[in-house]
Structure 1
Amino acid sequence: MRAATIHDEPASVIRVFSKIRDLVGPDRVDEFGPGANGAWGSRPNVGMYRTRRNLGVIRPATVEQVCRVVEFFDDPDLPIGLHVVSTGRNWGLGSAEPARDRTVTLDLSDLDEIRSLDIEGGFAIVEPGVTQGRLATSLAGTDRMLNVTASSAHTSIIGNGLDRGVGLRQQRVDDLLGLEVVLPDGQLVHVGWWPEKDRRTPLYPYGLGPSLLQLFVQSDLGVVSAAAVRLLHRPEAQRVIRLAFASRDLVPAVNTLRRWVAQGLVGGVLKIYDTVSAAFYGGRAGGFLAHLCVDGTVRSVDAISGLILDEAVSSGLFTEAAPHGREAGGDAVVAMVEGAYGGDPSHNDAMLEATLGQPAARVDEHGLGWLFFLPLVPFSGEDVARAHGLLAQIHEETGVRPGCTVNALSADVIDFVVTIKFAREDRAAERAHRALDRAYELFSATGFMPYRLDIDHADWVDRLSPDPGARELVRRLKTSLDPNGAIARGRYS
């Protein structure tokens, strides 16, 4: 029997590929048919998620080409839509893989211009292919810095921000001042704040009337082709403090850390590594390890650091309380933690390679498997202990022991990052995905809802919504803005 090819698709599909080849050039369009395993051209992904039927990849070189490509897909006779990626390094949640079958990937990684860098004004205009490492390097030696994540320097600023990733200073969505968006009919619009040519305006992303910027976060309502990104003031001084504590003291130790955050003593996002991952970051096996950043002027950092260390010692809760330094962990750990808090992700990739055994360019193809589950948990010792109890239940039921890192987004809520590493073979992957399924079930039943979804749990968006009416409103917006399905349904639709 002859294998199916894209030429067996409806005439409208063949026609749109022809038009796009003429527009962007044949070297920027890949058409896929099924391979030996039945996969339609999808790249491997580190999470070993189910391969979707992906008919091709389009790599435009300009924003104008993006507008035309999207306009071509705004066709009622076309049964496929565009799946949009920035650099495709959404590791653990699906990487570049679409959430739905029968899509065409619109790869924006070649849109990689830093259009504007305004140190005095505190913003940069970047395209989707601009990585956090590249922008951070451009800011070296200035009094501004980027809010970087703990992930690879090669990850997209825009892609992570639009998926509400978490930096070392705040959530990445809070860095977004404005967006340049290609609407499903090909029109280009700017929402939120955008620089004006002949006058300087304050950085205020909300504008007048309904704020449109958030419509395009975790959204399939448009294609973001550029973003205005906030640049943070670089602290005059910074000190990272390490605090270790035993498992038996989890509740009071977390409540003590929360008090310091609530009273404004901690700069950036406080991090707590659990017993699985603490040893990797220089802590003791079987215990917890916290990193907190104190920044400000030299005198204020000295004063606040001394106060925190004095209180930590007098509490009797912490087995170690010291400024971060070479004696408190490996050089790679010291460099990564202190660098990332200071807006420098150049040491992150050493930690990534130590974790997965591969550099960023090979994570999806080789090495260990990796899954993420990302719920929000109230910031209290009791709730953190309850969440760790759920991880223990998952281990008991599946034999898989997840790791966990707490990121304190505020004094009230934490990002409870659950990681599952596994050998990249079918049986281990099946167990890991069963553990991931149980995490969704157990955490959501407790009220600890995920704020980001992976591609295999896209249908949970309706199950987890507090109001069906709100979900219906989103569907009405999608129908109004994209009646022909130019942009494929994603993880949040």
Structure 2
Amino acid sequence: MEELPLPPGFTARKLDQVRKAFEAALGADKVFFEDLDRLTYQDKFAIDEDAHHPSGAVGPTTVEEVQAIVKIANQFAMPLWPISRGKNFGYGTSAPELAGSVVVDLSGMKKIEFDAANGVATIEPGVGFYDLYDYLQANGLPFWLSTPGNSWGSVIGNALDRGVGYTPYGENTKFLCGLEVVLPNGELVRTGMGAFDGADTWGLYPFGFGPGWDQMFVQSNFGIVTKANVWLMEEPESLMGMDVEFDRPEDLKAMVDCIGPLRREGLLRQSPSIGNWLRAASILTTRDEWTDQPGALSDDVIDAIRKRFNIGWWGVSLRLYGREEMNKAAYKVLESEIGKIKPMLVKPTSWVKGQPMERSGFTGTPMTFPLQNVNWYGGRGGHIGFSPILPQDGDKALAQFQRTYARYKEYGMDYQGSFAFGERHLINVNAMIIDKDDDAKMAKIDTFFRALVADAKANGYGEYRTHLDYMDLVAGSYGWNNNALRRLNETVKNALDPNGIIAPGKSGIWPSRLAGERKS
């Protein structure tokens, strides 16, 4: 039996009192405090798994049960860590930031309502992408999801952590429209038009009257979201586009400078993502098929892998959605602009409603195959994401790639990276693929990650999300005016949650009571 993880100031006796209070409120079948339960809610991708062990978990299935949990947590000053489904791989999965916290597992809350006239899904946190997709299919509803690379996760959870999908609705957090939230004092609030009794516009107008609170509950610890309205994209008449490969690392500059203007002007409404060769190869093969040499792969090995699978150093998939005649006209522009930067390969694709559909993220189909990349090194695989925000500038993107690639080589890591387009920005998503059974390599990961953060910070780039291990580090990098933003966040935190019970440390936001737990 492992040592019982306890939050600060707790004894085993006090934890047992908390467990009994939860059982009285929820029933023993919704309270999980055995050794196997604690093991289930650990993060197996973490560099140090022991840093984030929960003391137990509870599994509410109603809003009233969530309120009861919050009431008990306040009574005992027990830290809670809410999760939707716990599938946020690479960022912490289901484990808490503060060891000893009780995980509030919302995966049993799975209700779905759908406004077919307006394309609005009203869902609970346990609804995953597969669940919502199956609901749409079973009810013959012509709407598409915006699915991330791992669709095991929660639709709400993904949007609340600013996850990104592949369709024109790819920036998922932007398509939240009204939340239901249990506040740290147990009170239930609805944001936007949900605050107006009897309004049938809760899922239609995102702002309501006064401050807009939806985004205040994104990546924060100000409450527990129990319901959300999510806008879905109506199935288009047609889809057209191309998969494009480029031969050299230096081609990244031309790709960004070509695609960026097309995204900003609205010709491309999706969130295209430029990915390097390993993003494609890691789901098709494993490293041991090519070499047994330590350190980062040589150019010769990379060239051999690319040749076998006929992939570029960089690749990008570009898609157009809407009426067929409009897509045909837009495709001509797209084809001309891409042709100017001399790709090594262009593979056109098209679909019209009524034809057999490509089952991919571009058509709102859930998927999990990108997670195959964790098998790249063998052993117990995993990955951690390093993802700074950049402007859509080819020179700056290329410089950022070159700095990052040099760091990967310095630390003997194979580089998997991508550059995903928003309307005005790029997210440079770098996957640090790990082998938990390689002690020598694992010993380098923390220093490697911190070097990447420091490099980005020196050039004015901050991360948009991060793993539990680095929430304090990343929050601290947003240092303008003596970390004024963090101080604002913590002022709000202490006002809403004086006992500091909801997700202490989430996004580097610590309540005063637990401020001593902050890490560098």
- Does the TM-score normalized on the shorter chain lie above 0.5? yes
Equivalent in the alignment of 1:45: 44
Unaligned runs of 5+ in 1: 327-333, 359-365
Which of 338, 344, 363 is the equivalent residue of 2:365?
Answer: 344
Give TM-score scaled by structure 2 length.
0.82
Change (3 A) 1:195 1:133: farther
Look up the equivalent residue of 1:229 and give its one-letter code.
V
Query: Is 2:396 the counterpart of 1:383?
Result: yes
Equivalent in the alignment of 1:69: 69
- Deviation of the 1:165 alpha carbon: 0.9
Change (3 A) 1:56 1:279: closer
Query: Is 2:433 the counterpart of 1:405?
Result: no
Which of 118, 130, 139 is the equivalent residue of 1:121?
Answer: 118
Paired residues for 1:448-463 under 5 Å: 448-460=461-473, 461-463=475-477
Equivalent in the alignment of 1:446: 459
What is the SS of the residue equivalent to 2:18?
Answer: helix
Equivalent in the alignment of 2:200: 200
Counterpart Cα distance in 2 of 1:161 and 1:2: 35
- Contact 1:193–1:228, Cα closer than 8 Å, also in 2: no
Equivalent in the alignment of 2:344: 319
- Contact 2:387–2:464, Cα closer than 8 Å, also in 1: yes
Counterpart Cα distance in 1 of 2:208 and 2:198: 19
Equivalent in the alignment of 2:160: 162
Look up the equivalent residue of 1:291 and give its one-letter code.
S
Equivalent in the alignment of 2:93: 95
Q: Deviations over 1:290-329 (max 9, x none)?
A: 111111111111221133223333x152112231489xxx
Q: Deviations over 1:254-303 (max 9, x none)?
A: 21121222232213111211243254689745521111111111111122
- Contact 2:57–2:103, Cα closer than 8 Å, also in 1: yes
Change (3 A) 1:311 1:161: closer
Paired residues for 1:72-471 under 5 Å: 72-75=72-75, 78-114=76-112, 116-140=113-137, 141-152=140-151, 154-168=152-166, 169=168, 170-194=170-194, 200-201=200-201, 203-247=204-248, 248-279=250-281, 284-285=310-311, 287-313=313-339, 315-324=340-349, 335=358, 339-345=360-366, 348-352=367-371, 354-357=372-375, 367-410=380-423, 412-425=424-437, 426-460=439-473, 461-467=475-481, 468-471=483-486
Equivalent in the alignment of 1:13: 15
Look up the equivalent residue of 1:184 and give its one-letter code.
P
- Contact 1:185–1:482, Cα closer than 8 Å, also in 2: yes
Look up the equivalent residue of 2:489 and give its one-letter code.
V
Give TM-score scaled by structure 1 length.
0.87
Q: Deviations over 1:52-103 (max 9, x none)?
A: 242111111221111111011113xx35310111110110111111112231
Equivalent in the alignment of 2:294: none
- Deviation of the 1:6 alpha carbon: 7.2
Identity among equivalent pairs (%): 26
- Deviation of the 1:385 alpha carbon: 0.2
- Contact 1:276–1:286, Cα closer than 8 Å, also in 2: no
Counterpart Cα distance in 2 of 1:142 and 1:11: 52
Bigger drift between 65-74 and 53-62 goes to: 53-62
Counterpart Cα distance in 1 of 2:5 and 2:414: 42
Counterpart Cα distance in 2 of 1:290 and 1:213: 32
Change (3 A) 1:198 1:172: same
Counterpart Cα distance in 2 of 1:187 and 1:175: 25
What is the SS of the residue equivalent to 2:395?
Answer: helix
- Deviation of the 1:234 alpha carbon: 2.1
Look up the equivalent residue of 2:93 and give its one-letter code.
S
Counterpart Cα distance in 2 of 1:223 and 1:387: 36
- Deviation of the 1:437 alpha carbon: 2.3
